[in-house]
Amino acid sequence: MSDRPGEGSVSTVPRESELRRAARFMVEARWPVFAVICLLVAAVAAAFGPWLAPFDPSRQNLVLRLAAPLSTGPDGSVFLLGSDALGRDVFSRLLYGARVSLLVGIAAIAVGGSIGVVAGLLSGYFGGWVDDLIMRLADIQLAFPFILLAIMFLVVLGSGVWNLILILGVGQWVTYARIVRADTLSLREKEFVEAAQAMGDSTTSIIFRTILPNILAPLTVIASFNVASVILSEAALSFLGLGVPPSVPTWGSMLAESRDTLIANKWWLAVFPGVAIMLTVLSFNILGDWLRDFLDPRLRERT
Amino acid sequence: MGSYILRRLLQSVVVIVGVTLVSFLALQAGGDPTYLFVSERASLEEIETTRRALGFDRPLHVQYLTFVGDLTRGDFGQSLSYRQPAMDIVLEALPATIELTLFSMVIALLLAIPLGILAAIHRGTAWDGSITTFSMLGQSIPNFWMGIMMILVFGLYLRWFPISGHVPFIAPMMNGEFGVALSNLPRTLLHLILPGIAVGTYSLARNTRLIRSSLLEVLEQDYIRTARSKGLPEMRVLIHHALRNAWLPVVTIIGLEFGFLLGGVVVVETVFSYPGIGRLLFAAINQRDIPLVQAGVILLAGIFVLLNLVVDLVYVRLDPRVKLAEGRA
DSSP string covering B158-176, please?
S--S--S----SHHHHHTT
How confident is residue A303, by pLDDT bands cut at 50, 70 and 90?
A: very low
Residues 6+ apart with CB under 8 A from B320: none
pLDDT in tens, A199-225: 888 888 888 888 888 888 888 888 898
Exposed/middle/buried for residue A134 (C-beta within 10 Å: 0-12, 13-18, 19+):
buried
Report the pLDDT averaged over residues A56-61: 75
- Residue in A with minimal Cα distance to B164: A263
Average pLDDT, chain B: 83
Mean pLDDT in residue range B285-295: 82
Q: The complex's ipTM?
A: 0.82
CB-closest option in A144, A156, A300 to B29 = A156
Q: How far is A17 from chain B (nearest CA, A)?
A: 29
Assign A5 a pLDDT band (cuts: 50, 70, 90).
Answer: very low
pLDDT at B40 over 60: yes
Chain B nearest CA to A146, separation (Å): 8
Q: pLDDT class for A3, splitting at 50, 70, 90?
A: very low
On the question of pLDDT at B18 being above 60, the answer is: yes
Mean pLDDT computed over B249-258: 72
* Mean pLDDT, residues B13-35 taken together: 78
Q: How many angstroms away from the CA of B182 is the closest CA of chain A?
A: 32
pLDDT (0 to 100) of residue A4: 45
Which of the four pLDDT bands, split at 50, 70 and 90, describes residue A108?
very high
Per-residue pLDDT band at A296 (split at 50, 70, 90): low
Amino acid B250: pLDDT: 72
Phi, psi (deg, nearest 5) at residue A292: -60, -45
Give the model's pLDDT for residue B325: 52
Q: Which of A132, A151, A227 to mutate to test the interface with B (most CBs of B within 10 A)?
A: A151
Provide mean pLDDT across the span B174-193.
Answer: 85
Nearest CA in chain B to A251: B145
Give the span between the Cα atoms of A238 and B289, in whole angstroms. Answer: 19
Residues of B in Cβ contact (< 8 Å) with A281: 139-142
> In terms of CA atoms, which chain B residue is nearest residue A150?
B26
Q: Confidence band (pLDDT; 50, 70, 90) for A11?
A: very low
Confidence of residue A76 (pLDDT cuts 50, 70, 90): low
pLDDT tens, residue by residue, A112-162: 999 999 999 999 888 888 888 888 888 778 767 778 788 888 887 877 888
Who's near A251: CB < 8 A, 6+ residues apart? A94, A97, A98, A100, A101, A235, A238, A273, A274, A276, A277
Nearest to B263 among A143, A146, A152 (CB): A146
Instruction: Report CA-CA distances (Å) from B94 to A237, B74, B112, B264, B275.
Output: 21, 16, 26, 15, 9
Contact between residue A143 and residue A149 where contact means Cβ atoms under 8 Å apart: no
Q: Is B133 on the interface with A (CB under 8 A)?
A: yes
Of B16-30, B65-79, B281-295, the one with minimum mean pLDDT is B16-30
Q: Return d(Cα A160, Cα A3) in angstroms, integer.
A: 39
pLDDT tens for residues B117-159? Answer: 889 888 888 888 889 888 889 989 999 999 999 998 998 888 8
Does A274 sit within 8 Å of B148, measured CB to CB? yes
Mean pLDDT, rounded, for B167-188 = 84
Judge contact between B127 and B118, C-beta under 8 A.
yes
Tell me: pLDDT of A109 over 90: yes
Confidence of residue B196 (pLDDT cuts 50, 70, 90): very high
A81-106: average pLDDT: 83
Half-sphere exposure at residue A198, Cβ-oriented, CA atoms within 13 angstroms? 7
Judged by CB atoms closer than 8 Å, whether chains meet at A148 and B29 is answered as no
- In this structure, are residues A116 and A266 in contact, taking their beta carbons and an 8 Å threshold? no
In 3-state terms, chain B is what percent helix, strand and coil (to 5)? 80, 0, 20
Other CB atoms within 10 Å distance of the CB of residue A226: 26
What integer pLDDT is reported at residue A70 of this predicted model?
67
What average pLDDT does chain A have?
81
Interface of B with A in 221-280 (CB under 8 A): 256, 259-260, 262-263, 266-267, 270-271
Q: In this predicted structure, which of A161-175, A190-204, B193-207 has the lowest mean pLDDT?
A: A190-204
Q: How far is B125 from chain A (nearest CA, A)?
A: 11
- Give the model's pLDDT for residue A227: 92
d(CA B119, CA B131) in angstroms, rounded, equals 6
Nearest CA in chain B to A267: B152
Alpha-carbon dihedral B48, B50, B54, B57, rounded to 10 degrees:
-10
Maximum mean pLDDT: which of A30-34, A76-80, A176-180: A176-180
Q: Return the pLDDT at B329.
A: 37
CA distance A300 to chain B (A): 9
Contacts of B143 in chain A (CB under 8 A): 236
Task: Please provide the DSSP assignment of B214-249 as one string.
Answer: HHHHHHTSHHHHHHHHTT--HHHIIIIIIIHHHTHH
Q: Higher pLDDT residue, A139 or A13?
A: A139
For chain A, what's the residue count?
303
A262–B156: do the CB atoms touch at under 8 Å? yes
Listed residue (A207, A175, A164) closest to A188, CA to CA = A207
- Residue-wise DSSP of B242-295: IIHHHTHHHHHHHHHHHHHHHHHHHHHHHHTT-TTHHHHHHHHHHTT-HHHHHH
Residues B152, A267: C-beta atoms closer than 8 Å: yes
Determine the residue of chain B that is closest to A265 in CA distance.
B152
pLDDT at A15: 55
Best residue in B20, B80, B132, B145 for a mutation probing chain A (most A CBs within 10 Å) = B145
Q: Are A267 and A258 in contact (CB under 8 A)?
A: no
B18 near A CB under 8 A: yes
Tell me which chain A residue has its CA closest to the CA of residue B301: A144
Cross-chain CB nearest to A1 (options B133, B142, B217):
B133
| B283 or A298, which is more confident | B283
Q: Examine the pLDDT at B240 and tell me if it is beyond 90.
A: no
Q: Within chain B, what is the greatest distance between any pair of CA atoms?
A: 86
Cα A260 from Cα A72, distance rounded (Å):
24
Distance from the Cα of B313 to chain A's closest Cα (Å) equals 15
Our CA-based measurement puts residue B105 at a distance from the nearest CA of chain A, in whole angstroms, of: 16
What was the pLDDT predicted at B323? Answer: 55
pLDDT at B321: 64
Q: For position B145, what pLDDT does the model report?
A: 92
- Residue A31 confidence (pLDDT): 81
pLDDT digits (tens, 9 = 90+) for A17-28: 777 777 777 777
What whole-number distance in Å separates Cα of residue B138 and Cα of residue B200? 10
Nearest to A257 by CA among B23, B144, B203: B144
Residue A106: pLDDT band (50, 70, 90) is: very high
Which residue in chain B has the smallest CA separation from A132? B329
A139/B36 Cβ within 8 A: no
Mean pLDDT across the stretch A20-41?
Answer: 81
Contact B142 A3 (CB under 8 A): no
Question: Is B200 a residue whose pLDDT tops 50?
Answer: yes
Judge whether residue A12 has pLDDT over 60. no
Mean pLDDT of the A79-107 span: 83
pLDDT band per the 50, 70, 90 thresholds, residue A245: confident
Query: B148, A156: Cβ pair inside 8 Å?
Result: no
Q: How far is CA B74 from CA A167, A201, A281, B68, B94, in A?
A: 29, 56, 41, 10, 16
Residue of A nearest to B211 (CA): A301
% of chain B with per-residue pLDDT over 70 = 95
3-class SS of residue B30: coil
Note the pLDDT tens digit of each residue in B151-171. 989 988 888 988 888 888 888
Å between B261 CA and nearest CA of chain A: 9
Residue A9 has pLDDT above 60, yes or no: no
Beta strands in chain A (DSSP E): 71-72, 78-79
Chain B from 46 to 105: CB within 8 A of any A CB = none
Q: How far is A121 from chain B (nearest CA, A)?
A: 19
> For chain A, how many helices (H) and strands (E)?
12, 2
Do A259 and B271 count as a contact with CB atoms less than 8 A apart?
A: yes
Rounded mean pLDDT, B233-258? 75
Closest A-chain CA to B307: A143
What local confidence, expressed as pLDDT, does residue A241 receive? 83
Q: Which helix (H) or strand (E) holds A193?
A: helix A191-198
